[in-house]
Amino acid sequence: MAKIYEDKVVTSNTKNMLGRLYEFMRAYVGKMLFALVLVLTVTLLDLFRPVLIGNAIDTYIEGYTTPYAVLEEATKNSIEFDGVIYVKQDVSDEHDTYARLVLQGDIYYFFTDLDVKDLETITNAEDNQGFTLDGSTLSVGNLKGKAMSKDELNILRKGDINSLVKAGLLYLVVLVSLFICNLSQTWILQLSGQNIIYEIRMKLFKKLHFLPLRYFDTHPVGQLVTRVTNDVESLHEMYANILVRLFRNVAKIIGLAAVMLSIDTTLAVYAFGTLPFIAIFTVVFRTISRRMYRIMRVKISALNTFLSENISGMKLIQIFAKEDYKFDEFKGRTTDLYNTSLKEMYVFAIFRPLIYMLSVIALSIILYNGSLRVLSNAITIGTLYIFINYINSFFEPIQEIAEQFSTLQNAIASAEKIFTVLDEENPIEQKEDAIVLKNVEGRIEFKNVWFAYEDDNYVLKDVSFTIEPGQTVAFVGATGAGKSSILNLIGRYYDIQKGQILVDGIDIKDLNIHSLRRAIGQVQQDVFVFTGNMYSNIRLRKEDISDVQVMEAAKFVNANYFIERLPNQYNEEVSERGATLSSGQRQLLSFARTLAYDPKILVMDEATANIDTETEQLIQDGLESLMKGRTTIMVAHRLSTIQHADNIIVMHKGQIREMGKHQELLAQNGIYKKLYELQLRSN
């Protein structure tokens, strides 16, 4: 009995895992690098925006403090006001006479005919509130300034207004550039991510097709579905967003830190004061969240496995009235997942407010110390604005990095699960120079075969027999005698531990597996019907089988009797597992499917077990024609279906006990006769 694999929390080296994940994106490195360039561009533009506004505040909005030098002749940037030509310019040796705007309350006052000392006097009066207001005149000492009307102010500050418009247009260009860069990098990353995920999903699904049947005996379907769907989708977020966003956030943090240090070291040091606490909280959060993500993947997989199993077995659940029991079991599993999700939520619920609280503390420190430095003329208002903006932006990428690490760990946890499937080794290896079966005769020989599904629990013990081409051989015996195992071994779905199996004199381990299985047509007791129609279920995607051949195969085994009575005949849609068909109809469909592939070796495992007496009579003639010219191997409990076999092999506890034709075996008065008489009495 094969052991059922239990999905467990898998731990691995993150560095190695990222290295393996990189292999999938190797083909898209160029596009990823271009996306990184776009991300860097976005980061630089984001850093430039506050500087643009801060400079506009200091230079143009607060620019009224810049003196106006008196010129003798007009220049490109000069302004004519009250018959005097001015140019806005800091104090220099080139000019003797200046003018100056002063803001008191919400009114601007204009001082004219000033020298350098007069400018210093006005600046000191601004700092110490040393002005005297008399009607519309503002005085400091013997210097007097008149109140400006709105129109006069517009003339005098025309240059500032024009520069603000230009700054606004430049800001708009920056926003449009940000939009284009963000759109481009998002498109590139999403497209590349989807392509990578497509390749991973295809590789994983292909791997599942080439794994041995033993793997599916021990791994629940729901667990494998989770690997191909949920776990693969978790990787998409990493490829499409997380990796590049991590790079962007790291670049943004470094850029913000560098710019803040270059603008004002003192304020930057105040801003970085909370970073040690953030580092500690992030490490703790990362450790806890990684563990939670891994547990979540396991519990989601377990729930999917439970759902897959119980939905497939719903009929049995209802037959035995186990709905309440299964509901309670589901409630327990989903409550377990819910509680794990809550724990994960609690981690985020604590971490995010902590980081936000630290960012608010840092902002408060900057506002307090920055305001003091503005009042002491150590920095300008624009510089304080830049710092406040940068502080708001500085903690956001730090918080995102912590969360992105968690999402990255979620992806790595999913990758660990995916790689457990991709790394699964198939013990059934095909040689590089494997022989391709072409002209198959159908001779089968078992030489001293020993086989066990697990360890040394042998289900076949030293089995030897020969089936000549065109012969019909039947295997009979009690349940567990090893009959079906023999059929599985012929197609090399499992490998034997000892002995040798030959097809046309060639060891099947030397044969190309696909050519071997193409030569064998199997009809099983449990027929699987795919979603589709009758055509697709008979040809099974082998497009060189025409519709005419499909109908001929169905007619040959008398499957046409029920197909042609369907509303759409061969185009009739069938649901998953063929739920709309009876067991007998599914079995007939299986016969037609096998015949359409025209195999040289025919294997039937309890092929007539689900067919009623009337239906069985329909296919008897078809079976006789089907078996002509083909080596046929049958396993049957109903001995009436194998009485005309060329050879009947009686299995008991993994060994051959009797062999011969029907009458010969009856004459031996052994196991076969007892089985035959037992069936006669039961009938």
Distance CA 618, CA 620 (A): 6
Q: Tell me 524's DSSP state.
A: -
**What percentage of the chain carries pLDDT values higher than 90?**
0
What is residue 562's predicted lDDT score, i.e. its pLDDT? 77
Supply the angle between the helices 243-263 and 381-422 in degrees, to the nearest 10.
160
What is residue 497's predicted lDDT score, i.e. its pLDDT? 85
What is residue 679's predicted lDDT score, i.e. its pLDDT? 67
Answer whether 184's CB lies under 8 Å from 36's CB. no
Element (H, E) at 70: strand 68-71
Q: Which of 112-126, 167-181, 510-524 tops mean pLDDT?
A: 167-181
Q: Is the dihedral of CA 404, 407, 412, 418 positive or negative?
A: negative
Q: Tell me 148's DSSP state.
A: P
Structural domains in the chain, CATH included, are 14-56+163-422 (1.20.1560.10), 65-153 (no CATH), 430-518+646-683 (3.40.50.300)
Distance CA 523, CA 538 (A): 12
What is residue 572's predicted lDDT score, i.e. its pLDDT? 72
SS3 sequence of 168-187:
HHHHHHHHHHHHHHHHHHHH
Q: Among the listed ranges 103-107, 110-114, 303-307, which one has the minimum average pLDDT value?
A: 303-307
Q: Where are the alpha helices (DSSP H) in 313-322?
A: 314-319
What is residue 577's predicted lDDT score, i.e. its pLDDT? 62
Distance CA 412, CA 18 (A): 8
User: Is residue 627's pLDDT more than 80?
Assistant: no
User: Is residue 14's pLDDT more than 70?
Assistant: no
360, two tokens? 């608010």
Mean pLDDT of the chain: 78
Number of Cβ within 10 Å of residue 411's Cβ equals: 25
CA distances from 391 to 109, 272, 274, 278, 458 (A): 36, 9, 12, 14, 71
Q: What is the edge-to-edge ordering of all strands in the sheet holding 647-652?
A: 520-523, 601-605, 631-635, 472-477, 647-652, 655-660
Strands 655-660 and 79-81: unpaired
Strands 107-114 and 132-134: unpaired
Distance CA 603, CA 600 (A): 10
Half-sphere exposure of 547 (CA within 13 A, CB side): 4
Q: Rounded mean pLDDT of 58-86?
A: 81
**320 vs 520, which has greater pLDDT?**
520
Distance CA 439, CA 405 (A): 59
Distance CA 74, CA 375 (A): 37
Closest CA to 587 of 565, 618, 566: 618
- How many DSSP H helices and E strands does the chain contain? 23, 20
80, two tokens? 């004519």
**295 vs 623, which has greater pLDDT?**
295
Q: What is the pLDDT of residues 141-188, one digit of tens each?
A: 888 888 888 888 888 888 778 888 888 898 899 889 889 988 888 888
Read out DSSP for 449-518? EEEESSTT-EEEEEEEEEE-TT-EEEEEESTTSSHHHHHHHHTTSS--SEEEEEETTEEGGGB-HHHHHH
Q: Rounded mean pLDDT of 582-602?
A: 77
What is residue 613's predicted lDDT score, i.e. its pLDDT? 61
Distance CA 494, CA 499 (A): 13
Answer whether 622's CB lies under 8 Å from 589's CB. no
Q: Which long-range contacts (CB under 8 A, 24 or more apart) does 116-121 make?
A: 116/91, 118/143, 119/67, 119/91
683, two tokens? 């009938």
139, two tokens? 């005085």
What is residue 441's predicted lDDT score, i.e. its pLDDT? 82
What is residue 176's predicted lDDT score, i.e. its pLDDT? 92
What is residue 618's predicted lDDT score, i.e. its pLDDT? 63
What is residue 657's predicted lDDT score, i.e. its pLDDT? 87
What is residue 396's predicted lDDT score, i.e. its pLDDT? 77
Q: Which of 221-235, 507-521, 616-630 tops mean pLDDT?
A: 507-521
User: Is residue 549's pLDDT more than 50?
Assistant: yes
pLDDT band (50, 70, 90) for residue 2 = very low
What is residue 498's predicted lDDT score, i.e. its pLDDT? 87
pLDDT band (50, 70, 90) for residue 681 = low
Q: Rounded mean pLDDT of 249-256?
A: 81
467, two tokens? 């089936």
pLDDT band (50, 70, 90) for residue 9 = very low
What is residue 5's predicted lDDT score, i.e. its pLDDT? 47
Supply the angle between the helices 323-375 and 381-422 in degrees, to the nearest 10.
150
What's the angle, vertex CA 626, arms to CA 622 and CA 630, rounded to 5? 160
What is residue 168's predicted lDDT score, i.e. its pLDDT? 86
User: Is residue 378's pLDDT more than 60?
Assistant: yes
Q: What is the pLDDT of residues 182-207, one digit of tens each?
A: 888 888 878 888 888 888 888 888 88
What's the gap between Cα 51 and its chain centre?
39
What is residue 255's predicted lDDT score, i.e. its pLDDT? 81
Dihedrals phi, psi of 524, to nearest 5 degrees: -105, 165
pLDDT band (50, 70, 90) for residue 113 = confident
Closest CA to 142 of 125, 159, 158, 163: 125
Q: Rounded mean pLDDT of 27-56?
A: 82
Read out DSSP for 248-296? HHHHHHHHHHHHHHHH-HHHHHHHGGGHHHHHHHHHHHHHHHHHHHHHH
Answer whether 111's CB lies under 8 Å from 144's CB. yes
Q: Rounded mean pLDDT of 437-450?
A: 85
Half-sphere exposure of 675 (CA within 13 A, CB side): 25
Adjacent-strand bridge partners of 102: 109
Q: Rounded mean pLDDT of 310-332?
A: 75
pLDDT band (50, 70, 90) for residue 7 = low
What's the gap between Cα 193 and its chain centre?
9
